[in-house]
Structure 1
Amino acid sequence: MNNREKCLACNRKLEGRTDKKFCDPYCKSTWHYNKSRQSNASFYSKVDRQLKTNRKILKQFNKAGKATVRAQTVFDEGFDPNFFTHYWKNKKGDVYLFVYEFGFLTRIENGKKKFVLITWQDYMSR
Structure 2
Amino acid sequence: MERLQKSCLYCKKEVFGRSDKKFCDPQCKSAYQYQQTRAQPERFYNKVDNQLRLNRKLLKDYNKGGKVTVRTSVLKAKGFDARFFTHYWKNGKGDVYLFVYEYGFLRRLEHGVEKYILIQWQDYMN
Which 4+ runs in 1 deviate beyond 6 A?
none
2:94 counterpart of 1:98: no
2:15 counterpart of 1:37: no
For residue 32 of structure 1, report the CA deviation from its aligned partner.
1.7
For residue 41 of structure 1, report the CA deviation from its aligned partner.
0.9
Q: Distance in 2 between matches of 1:58 and 1:75?
A: 11
Aligned residue for 1:97, secondary structure, equals strand
Q: Greater CA radius of gyration, 1 or 2?
A: 2
Provide the residue aligned with 1:62 in structure 2.
63
- CA spacing shift, 1:22–1:82, aligned 2, 3 Å: same
Provide the residue aligned with 1:118 in structure 2.
119
- Please give the per-residue CA displacement for 1:6-39, whole angstroms capped at 9, x wherever unaligned: 2222333333322222334433232222222122
Opposite residue 42 of structure 1, the aligned amino acid is R
Opposite residue 18 of structure 1, the aligned amino acid is S
- Please give the per-residue CA displacement for 1:35-83, whole angstroms capped at 9, x wherever unaligned: 2212211211211121112112111211222211000111111111001
Q: Distance in 2 between matches of 1:123 and 1:16?
A: 64
- RMSD, matched Cα: 1.8
Opposite residue 88 of structure 2, the aligned amino acid is Y
TM-score by length of structure 2 reads: 0.84
Aligned residue for 1:16, secondary structure, equals coil
Aligned residue for 1:105, secondary structure, equals strand
Give the fraction of aligned pairs with identical amino acids, expressed as a percent.
Answer: 58
TM-score by length of structure 1 reads: 0.84
